[in-house]
């Protein structure tokens, strides 16, 4: 009887098995640690907000201690009920979501979720959102009392709620305002997660940097939609929804590349990462760390396989992760030839 | 709950758009309880991204006479890309299986309710039948009297009914086109039954399309019987983290919205808020 189960089970990500190194690695052991705003991560792979719950949900599926960090589901000062169903819909190589930022609120997060996260070697990054600048500040003030949080990640880019983050993330002035106020309130490093739904992401990136952001995460989801042509109704109750998954990767990568050249603060890259190669592309484009999002849903072991994949790559290339960051080689065009035309 | 790569043992077509998939998954089969489900990912094809939720239709021992269950069986209807890929699976093909998931029918005071009832009534709409077989067997083993009301669009949509025979005193079949049994919706004969025996106490278990569940909930409420519904919704993860599967349920939980994959898929019908204006899932 054929039993695939007998071959190493638990292996379900899209990640191909680690390739044999063509050259012997010798005694070179790369460092895959990274530092972001004074916080050291044991490796550059984190899980993205909203795709990994509060970590505990995955505890019996993967070894959480092997992750660089966990960005928890977006937290607000007060609990949020979320949107009516349907909230998600699968599209080609991606998915749409309009969850509506349902969450238990900052107080219950501290009481119920943080004690578990504190026990892990993976760093805890708390994703924060609000509908007014005061909301953001109030949420951070509550979280400041928590023990075991390593950084805040400000979600100014949630495309799901009409009066929500959209406004902040799309306007440099509003971005500066909320980042500056949050920075004043925060006792911990402040990452700002940018919206990709803008014409020039570097404008918003610079606005966040000028207002005191310690690091930038990009990108959040792209606003999209889908229609059921039989009923002529939207597939998602909110009508528009955020697109994530492999479909967005090339655009996210381009935005990380552009932003890395426009700011001095570290960048955490994400958007459609599902394999080691995806993650390496983001690092080479200029991200100091990466986050895995949608892939957690269908292949929970993706992140730890990427950690091992990055280690193997670095050994083979005899590079530390820090050497890899922003190491993109762009050949200069042959000018003489070009001018012939 | 376990995430395993398992092999297809058999994939048996049932008419033109249904099939029964048997997977070699001993550990998960042994842990499965009535009403629980699995998240299935078809590997090696670029076709779909997310796993698909499927009720655990049945668990079966393998040929050897020893030990407990070894196979997990999924009864599926081909409705789109994912289930079409499922229909193409061959023996030996690998499938990523996350199972068993969710609270099945054995929530809280379920058995107590069954004990107080004169009869358990199963109400199934189409492929919703898949959620009920293991519950019917378990209740039959405990000696409960049971009846099944099974509705489908047409004769070909009434798959699985024969598997219930050993456990029930009657199967009432209804089709929308009248090609098998009486014509109409399953709630028609169900209401007749409830009206005929006003003094009996029933426990109802139902699974099927939202509209059918809502109509059944309305009947159960009107006639004063308890009803457990196995709810469906699109699912992103099955793990409780994407919050894509939430439906509105009264009381505590993730706000007023609870996760079908984690707090469900089985809920007491009188706790479900049948929201007006909710879009159909399909
Ligand atoms: C707890 C649970 C148990 C289920 N058990 C079974 C089962 O035993 N057998 C079975 O055949 N089906 C079952 N379903 C429904 C099954 O998951 C969907 O039919 C399947 O995901 C469709 O996938 P697809 O790729 O073929 O279709 P898609 O191409 O994704 O979509 C085709 C159509 O199906 C709709 N659809 C997508 N996902 C779902 C969903 N989760 N529920 C209902 N409609 C959906 C889409 O909106 C679309 O209209 C169950 C669903 C849940 C939530
Ligand atoms: C279901 C779902 C919920 C999400 N919730 C949040 C959230 O609460 N806060 C946030 O900043 N980003 C949220 N995101 C965005 C992801 O963190 C990530 O930026 C995006 O999905 C792109 O990465 P990916 O393609 O790897 O998924 C969510 C994404 C999904 C799919
Ligand atoms: S399917 Fe993701 S939370 Fe239920």
Residue B280 inside a domain? The answer is no
Residue B281 inside a domain? The answer is no
- A228 Cα nearest atom in ligand 1: 49
- The domain spanning residue B45 has which CATH number? 2.40.30.10
A1 close to B (CB below 8 A): yes
Whether B25 and B142 share a structural domain? no
Whether B267 and B181 share a structural domain? yes
Whether B85 and B135 share a structural domain? no
Q: Are A213 and A183 in contact (CB under 8 A)?
A: yes
pLDDT at A26: 64
Q: Is the dihedral of CA A266, A271, A272, A274 positive or negative?
A: positive
Reduce the DSSP state of residue A274 to 3 states and report it. coil
- Locate the chain B residue with the closest alpha carbon to A92: B48
For residue B115, the distance in angstroms to the closest alpha carbon of chain A comes to: 35
Q: Inspect the interface and report whether the beta carbons of B5 and A10 lie closer than 8 Å.
A: yes
Whether B121 and B15 share a structural domain? no
pLDDT at B192: 96
Query: What was the ipTM of the complex prediction?
Result: 0.92
Contacts of B150 (CB under 8 A, 6+ apart): B122, B124, B129, B158, B161, B171, B172, B173, B174, B186
Rounded-to-integer distance, Cα B271 and Cα B193, Å: 24
Residue B45 inside a domain? The answer is yes
pLDDT in single tens digits along all 341 residues of chain A: 333 333 333 444 566 554 444 555 568 899 999 999 999 999 999 999 999 999 999 999 999 999 999 999 999 999 888 899 999 999 999 999 999 888 989 999 999 999 999 999 999 999 999 988 899 999 999 999 999 999 999 999 744 343 444 568 888 988 999 999 999 999 999 999 999 999 999 999 999 999 999 999 999 999 999 999 999 999 999 999 999 999 999 999 999 999 999 999 999 999 999 999 999 999 999 999 999 999 999 999 999 999 999 999 999 999 999 999 999 999 877 666 555 55
- DSSP-derived secondary structure for A220-258: -PEEE--EETTTTEESSTTSSEEEESGGGHHHHHHHHHH
Q: Inspect the interface and report whether the beta carbons of A12 and B244 lie closer than 8 Å.
A: no
For residue B200, the distance in angstroms to the closest alpha carbon of chain A comes to: 36
pLDDT at B64: 66
Among B101, B136, B165, the domain boundary falls at B101
Q: Which of B1, B240, B255 is facing A53, going by the closest CB pair?
A: B240
Closest to B121 in 3D by CA, of B207, B61, B40 = B207
- A297 Cα nearest atom in ligand 3: 2
Q: Which of B4, B7, B278 is facing A84, going by the closest CB pair?
A: B278
Whether B86 and B164 share a structural domain? no
Residue B7 inside a domain? The answer is yes
Q: Which residues of A, range 25-84, sit inside 8 Å of B by Cβ?
A: 50-53, 57-58, 60-61, 73, 79-82, 84
Looking at beta carbons, which pairs linking B78-81 to residues 24 or more positions away fall under 8 Å? B78/B17, B78/B18, B78/B19, B79/B282, B81/B47, B81/B48
pLDDT at A19: 47
Whether B129 and B80 share a structural domain? no
pLDDT at A5: 35
Q: Tell me the CB-side half-sphere exposure of residue B67, using CA atoms within 13 A.
A: 13
For residue B280, the distance in angstroms to the closest alpha carbon of chain A comes to: 8
Q: Inspect the interface and report whether the beta carbons of A102 and B49 lie closer than 8 Å.
A: no
- Locate the chain A residue with the closest alpha carbon to B275: A84
pLDDT at A157: 73
Q: Is A158 a catalytic residue?
A: yes
A105 close to B (CB below 8 A): no
Whether B80 and B126 share a structural domain? no
- Counted across chains A and B, CB pairs separated by less than 8 A come out at 145
Q: Inspect the interface and report whether the beta carbons of B49 and A94 lie closer than 8 Å.
A: yes
Instruction: Tell me how far apart the terminal alpha carbons of chain B are, to the nearest angstrom.
Output: 28
Q: Inspect the interface and report whether the beta carbons of A237 and B279 lie closer than 8 Å.
A: yes
Q: Is B37 in the pocket of ligand 1 (CB under 6 A)?
A: yes
From the CA of B235, how far away is ligand 3's center (Å)? 5
Closest to A130 in 3D by CA, of A172, A198, A177, A197 = A177
Whether B85 and B149 share a structural domain? no
Q: Inspect the interface and report whether the beta carbons of A297 and B50 lie closer than 8 Å.
A: yes
Whether B143 and B256 share a structural domain? yes
Residue with tokens 């196995």: B230
From the CA of B79, how far away is ligand 1's center (Å)? 7
Residue B278 inside a domain? The answer is no
Q: B100 preceded by cis ω (within 30°)?
A: yes
The residue range of the domain holding B265 is 107-271
* B48 contacts in chain A (CB < 8 Å): 90
Q: Are A237 and A87 in contact (CB under 8 A)?
A: yes
Annotate A285-317 with three-state secondary structure: HCCCEEEECCHHHHCCCHHHHHHHHHHHHHHHH
Q: Which of B5, B48, B242 is facing A5, going by the closest CB pair?
A: B5
Residues with CB under 6 A from ligand 3: B 235-238, 240-245, 259, 261
Where helices occur in chain A by DSSP H, the ranges are: 106-108, 114-118, 133-143, 166-170, 172-185, 201-210, 249-260, 276-285, 295-298, 302-317, 321-324, 335-339
Whether B28 and B143 share a structural domain? no
Cβ neighbour number for residue B160 with a 10 Å cutoff: 19
- The domain spanning residue B209 has which CATH number? 3.40.50.80
Q: How many domains does chain B have?
A: 2
Ligand positioned closest to the Cα atom of B244:
3
Whether B144 and B258 share a structural domain? yes
Residue B279 inside a domain? The answer is no
Q: What is the mean pLDDT of each run of 10 residues along chain B (282 residues)?
A: 95 95 96 96 83 96 75 96 95 96 78 84 97 94 94 94 95 94 94 95 95 95 95 95 93 73 93 71 56
Whether B13 and B130 share a structural domain? no
For residue A258, the distance in angstroms to the closest alpha carbon of chain B comes to: 29
Q: Is A183 left (phi over 0), alpha (psi -120 to 50) or beta?
A: alpha
Eight-class DSSP state of A103: B
Among B101, B136, B152, the domain boundary falls at B101
Helical (H) or strand (E) element with B223: helix B210-223
Closest to B267 in 3D by CA, of B231, B240, B241 = B231
Contacts of B118 (CB under 8 A, 6+ apart): B145, B197, B200, B201, B202
Eight-class DSSP state of B126: G
Residue B282 inside a domain? The answer is no
Domains and CATH numbers, chain A: 4-324 (3.20.20.70)
Among B101, B130, B163, the domain boundary falls at B101
Residue B153 inside a domain? The answer is yes
Q: Which residues of A, range 108-147, sit inside 8 Å of B by Cβ?
A: none
Rounded-to-integer distance, Cα A137 and Cα A133, Å: 6
Model confidence over A249-290: pLDDT tens digits? 999 999 999 999 999 999 999 999 999 999 999 999 999 999
Across chain B, the runs of DSSP E, i.e. the strands, are 2-14, 18-24, 37-42, 52-55, 58-60, 71-77, 94-101, 119-125, 146-152, 170-175, 182-183, 202-207, 226-230, 246-248, 257-259, 266-268
Residue A36 phi/psi, 5-degree rounding, is: -130, 115
């Amino acid at each position: 009887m054929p039993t695939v189960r007998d071959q190493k089970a638990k292996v379900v990500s899209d990640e191909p098995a680690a390739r044999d190194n063509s050259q012997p690695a010798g005694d070179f052991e790369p460092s895959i640690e990274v530092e972001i705003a004074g916080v050291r991560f044991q490796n550059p792979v984190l899980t993205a907000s909203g795709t990994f719950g509060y970590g505990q949900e995955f505890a019996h599926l993967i070894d959480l201690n092997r992750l660089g960090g966990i960005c928890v589901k977006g937290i607000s000062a007060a609990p949020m009920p979320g949107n009516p169903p349907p909230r998600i819909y699968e599209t080609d190589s991606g998915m749409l979501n309009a969850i509506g930022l349902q969450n238990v609120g900052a107080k219950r997060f501290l009481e119920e979720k943080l004690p578990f996260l504190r026990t892990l070697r993976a760093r805890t990054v708390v994703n924060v959102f609000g509908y007014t600048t005061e909301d953001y500040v109030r949420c951070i003030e509550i979280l400041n009392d928590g023990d075991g949080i390593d950084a805040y990640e400000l979600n100014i880019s949630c495309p799901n709620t009409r009066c929500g983050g959209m406004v902040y993330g799309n306007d440099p002035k509003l971005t500066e305002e909320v980042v500056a106020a949050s920075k004043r309130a925060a006792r911990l490093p402040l990452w700002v997660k940018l919206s990709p739904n803008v014409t020039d992401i570097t404008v918003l990136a610079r606005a966040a940097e000028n207002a005191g952001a310690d690091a930038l995460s990009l990108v959040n989801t792209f606003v999209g939609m889908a229609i059921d042509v039989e009923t002529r109704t939207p597939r998602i109750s909110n009508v528009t929804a955020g697109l994530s998954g492999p479909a967005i990767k090339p655009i996210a990568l381009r935005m990380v590349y552009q932003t890395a050249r426009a700011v001095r603060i570290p960048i955490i890259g994400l958007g459609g990462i599902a394999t080691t190669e995806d993650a390496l592309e983001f690092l080479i484009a200029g991200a100091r760390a990466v986050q895995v999002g949608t892939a957690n849903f269908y292949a929970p072991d993706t992140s730890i396989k990427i950690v091992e994949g990055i280690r193997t790559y670095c050994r083979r290339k005899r590079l530390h992760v820090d050497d890899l960051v922003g190491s993109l080689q762009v050949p200069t065009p042959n000018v003489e030839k070009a001018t012939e035309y | 709950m376990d995430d395993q790569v398992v092999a297809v043992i058999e994939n048996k077509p049932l008419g033109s758009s249904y099939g029964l998939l048997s997977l070699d998954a001993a550990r998960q089969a042994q842990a499965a309880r009535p009403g629980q489900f699995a998240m299935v990912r078809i590997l090696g094809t670029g076709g779909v991204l997310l796993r698909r939720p499927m009720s655990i239709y049945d668990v079966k021992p393998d040929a050897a006479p020893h030990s407990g269950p070894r196979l997990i069986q999924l009864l599926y209807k081909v409705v789109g890309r994912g289930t079409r890929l499922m229909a193409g699976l061959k023996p030996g093909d690998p499938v990523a299986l996350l199972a068993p998931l969710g609270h099945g029918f054995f929530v809280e005071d379920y058995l107590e309710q069954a004990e107080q009832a004169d009869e358990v009534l199963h109400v199934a709409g189409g492929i919703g039948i898949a959620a009920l077989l293991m519950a019917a067997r378990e209740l039959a083993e405990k000696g409960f009297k049971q009846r099944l009301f099974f509705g489908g669009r047409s004769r070909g949509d009434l798959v699985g009914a024969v598997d219930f025979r050993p456990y029930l005193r009657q199967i009432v079949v209804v089709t929308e086109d009248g090609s098998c049994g009486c014509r109409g919706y399953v709630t028609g004969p169900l209401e007749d039954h409830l009206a005929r025996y006003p003094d009996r106490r029933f426990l109802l278990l139902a699974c099927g399309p939202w509209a059918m569940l809502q109509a059944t909930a309305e009947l159960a409420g009107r006639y004063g019987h308890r009803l457990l519904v196995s709810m469906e919704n699109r699912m992103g993860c099955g793990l409780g983290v994407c919050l894509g599967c939430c439906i509105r349920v009264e009381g505590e939980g993730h706000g007023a919205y609870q996760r079908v994959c984690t707090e469900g898929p089985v809920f007491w019908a009188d706790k479900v808020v049948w929201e007006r204006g909710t879009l159909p899932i399909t």
